[in-house]
Chain A
Amino acid sequence: MADKKWMPRWFYQLASPRWCYDITGKLLPLFAWAAALLLLGGTAWALAFAPADYQQGNSFRIIYIHVPSAILAQSCYMLMAIAGAVGLIWKMKVADMVAKCCAPIGASIAVLALATGAIWGKPTWGAWWVWDARLTSMLILLFLYFGVMALNSAIENQTTAAQSTAVLSLVGLVNIPIIKYSVEWWNTLHQPATFTLTERPAMPFEMWMPLLIMVLGFYCFFAVTVMLRLRNEIVTRERRSGWVKDLIQTQFR
């Protein structure tokens, strides 16, 4: 590779599946503990101590799941597209694997965001599903995830599958802002001024602090799931290389 001169060293270490496997092994417990603490603490604060909403009472508390999952579902798509681009440009296999791991995780988080949104909609709007701009955007994001997953599973050759899905997720990434804008515009046209809880002005500290903790907790949890999947993928793909054989020998004897 001609680019070797100017890329930092860690970038090339990252390209080595073995190095990645080792480093994620060390990081995994760290993130797992952080996720557990943040999620438990955040949930306790959110459910027990945060004040009830003056309009919606206690039903608003579902935003402590809904909002972090909605944010995460979008970040996950971004990570998937960027990892895909890195894999495409520098032919880095680990990046391909990260991108592949992201799709199902992101899709399930998007489903979580949609489900909590629907549950929250019942007491708020009196219906399980409302064509609200945020929910609709999330639904389309889920469709984008489905597309990426369908394409990845349809192509047998691993390299081709990784490259194709990378192109698709990049195209999706360019489109996401356009989709969001168009859906928001469409929403104001058809449904004038329903209130959205997450955009209200001046949420008090006792309300947004647990939200922030939950968002951080979700990110840590996401890191854990990505690393678990990644390690699994690395071992599966490298199963014929020496170090994986040694690993299996020492760990599962």
Chain B
Amino acid sequence: MAVEPLRVDNLFCERDERVLFEGLGFSVSAGDVVRIEGQNGSGKTTLLRMLTGLSNHYEGDIYWGEQLLAECAEEYRQNLLYFGHQAGVKALLTPLENLHWYASMQPHIHVEKLEWALEQVGLRGFEDVPCHTLSAGQNRRVSLARLYLSTAPVWILDEPFTAIDKQGVATLELLIADHAAKGGMVILTTHHELAMAGTLRKVNLDQLACRGRAV
């Protein structure tokens, strides 16, 4: 799973007349787990959305390998898994249907693995219940099951641990560390203290609001 590094260069973003970050630069290579830190409203989600290519309201450059992100968007998307602020789970569909829909969009996912993935996130027995009857944490787990399915090397995870119980968090952390060890890269935000503190790199947006370079 060799993957091109992601490089952020001199990124500037303002929202509603307020500078969120300025001169932000860092890079993420294969094997890295990078945690974006900052207070509420410091622009963590905004930054992650820029890194996925969803938002392009910034000045400065984001490179994937040698190319600008905007120029290789299609190829980049094949290598990307994004876990967003909203889980991306349809309440009227069952967990299995939700994953089927996701798999239809990601051609590299094997449909036979869907039930196994749901079992991994502890949703065995809930495969055929509509998601609106599940709890908030269970709904997020449906979306997290994608982590077990995906072969994409770049993971961008916005608050993946929200509403997940302690044991779930621990399993998830192992999964993330394992992904990085296999040569993937992970960029995430979270308010949880992570056990893998040693290997974790950090980008702090609070210090950047008043300029500076991170990492």
Q: Touch between A and B in complex, CB under 8 Å?
A: yes
Tell me the residues in window 156-177 of chain A with beta carbons closer than 8 Å to chain B beta carbons. Answer: 157, 159-160
**Closest approach, in angstroms, between the C-beta of B15 and any C-beta of chain A?**
8
Contacts of A160 in B (CB 8 A): 57
Number of interface residues of B (CB under 8 A): 2
Tell me the residues in window 20-57 of chain B with beta carbons closer than 8 Å to chain A beta carbons. Answer: 57
Can you name the residue of chain A whose Cβ is closest to the Cβ of B68?
Answer: A2
**Closest approach, in angstroms, between the C-beta of A3 and any C-beta of chain B?**
12
Docked Cα-Cα span, A157 to B56, in Å, equals: 13
A2–B71 contact, CB under 8 A?
Answer: yes
Docked Cα-Cα span, A194 to B71, in Å, equals: 56
B57–A157 contact, CB under 8 A?
Answer: yes
B71–A159 contact, CB under 8 A?
Answer: no
Contacts of A2 in B (CB 8 A): 71
**Closest approach, in angstroms, between the C-beta of A59 and any C-beta of chain B?**
54
Tell me the residues in window 64-94 of chain B with beta carbons closer than 8 Å to chain A beta carbons. Answer: 71
**Closest approach, in angstroms, between the C-beta of A143 and any C-beta of chain B?**
30
Can you name the residue of chain B whose Cβ is closest to the Cβ of A158?
Answer: B57
**Closest approach, in angstroms, between the C-beta of A208 and any C-beta of chain B?**
50
Docked Cα-Cα span, A118 to B172, in Å, equals: 71
**Closest approach, in angstroms, between the C-beta of A43 and any C-beta of chain B?**
46
**Closest approach, in angstroms, between the C-beta of B169 and any C-beta of chain A?**
35
**Closest approach, in angstroms, between the C-beta of A185 and any C-beta of chain B?**
42
**Closest approach, in angstroms, between the C-beta of A240 and any C-beta of chain B?**
8
Docked Cα-Cα span, A165 to B57, in Å, equals: 17
Can you name the residue of chain B whose Cβ is closest to the Cβ of A160?
Answer: B57
Contacts of A157 in B (CB 8 A): 57
Contacts of B71 in A (CB 8 A): 2
Contacts of B57 in A (CB 8 A): 157, 159-160
Docked Cα-Cα span, A160 to B57, in Å, equals: 9
**Closest approach, in angstroms, between the C-beta of B66 and any C-beta of chain A?**
13
What 0/1 pattern do residues 174 to 200 of A give for CB contact below 8 A with B?
A: 000000000000000000000000000
**Closest approach, in angstroms, between the C-beta of B161 and any C-beta of chain A?**
30
Contacts of A159 in B (CB 8 A): 57
Docked Cα-Cα span, A2 to B71, in Å, equals: 9
Docked Cα-Cα span, A19 to B198, in Å, equals: 52
Docked Cα-Cα span, A136 to B71, in Å, equals: 45
**Closest approach, in angstroms, between the C-beta of A245 and any C-beta of chain B?**
16
Can you name the residue of chain A whose Cβ is closest to the Cβ of B14?
Answer: A240
**Closest approach, in angstroms, between the C-beta of A50 and any C-beta of chain B?**
54
Docked Cα-Cα span, A157 to B71, in Å, equals: 24
Point out residues on A near B: beta carbons under 8 Å: 2, 157, 159-160
Cβ contacts A to B, 4 pairs, < 8 Å: A2-B71, A157-B57, A159-B57, A160-B57
Which 4 pairs, one residue from A and one from B, show the smallest C-beta to C-beta distance?
A: A159-B57, A2-B71, A157-B57, A160-B57
